[in-house]
Amino acid sequence: MAALTDSATTISELKNRVLAFARERDWEQFHSPKNLSMALAAESGELMEHFLWSTPEQSRAVAVDAVKRQKIAEELADVIIYALEFANVTGLDVAAAIEAKMAANARKYPVEKARGRADKYTEL
């Protein structure tokens, strides 16, 4: 069976898989926006737990430690699954929302002012 890859998979395909999984189990009754936002935040917390005490630089080593990578891939998957299911139940188009948000971010963080700086746009 061919595995999915980012270059050959649309957002809709992933959204549909996530929705089908919930429907098959009659879980849509639990999937309110409130509950899904909690699950998303809780899973984000679990991903973060892998990096609590490391420095930012040390955290980059994750990308090359095979055992950690596997765990982190699972946590990231959980995060995105809940984000996609949130989009499903609220009828949001993820790609359109990201395109619009990035356009707004580009106005707040023009390249010439933001380059190399981590400051908030209100302080640029």
Residue 5 contacts a second copy per CB under 8 A: yes
Tell the smallest beta-carbon distance from residue 49 to a second copy (Å). Answer: 5
Query: According to the binding rule CB under 8 A, does residue 52 interact with a second copy?
Result: yes
Q: Which long-range contacts (CB under 8 A, 24 or more apart) does 98-101 make?
A: none
Query: Greatest CA span in the chain, whole angstroms?
Result: 51
Q: How far apart are the C-alpha atoms of 60 and 50, rounded to whole Å? A: 12
Instruction: Please give the size of the binding site for a second copy, defined by CB under 8 A.
Output: 87
Q: How far apart are CA 60 and CA 43, in angstroms?
A: 20
Region 95-114 residues binding a second copy, contact defined as CB under 8 A: 95-102, 104-106, 109, 111, 114
Q: Residue 124, interface with a second copy (CB under 8 A)?
A: no
Instruction: Specify whether the CB–CB gap between 38 and 79 falls below 8 A.
Output: no
Write each residue from 70 to 89 as x if it is in contact with a second copy (CB under 8 A), else as -, in one continuous string. Answer: --xxx-xxxxxx-x--xx-x
**What is the per-residue binding string for a second copy in 20-49, x denoting contact by CB under 8 A?**
-x--xxxx-xx-xxxx-xxxxxxxxxxxxx
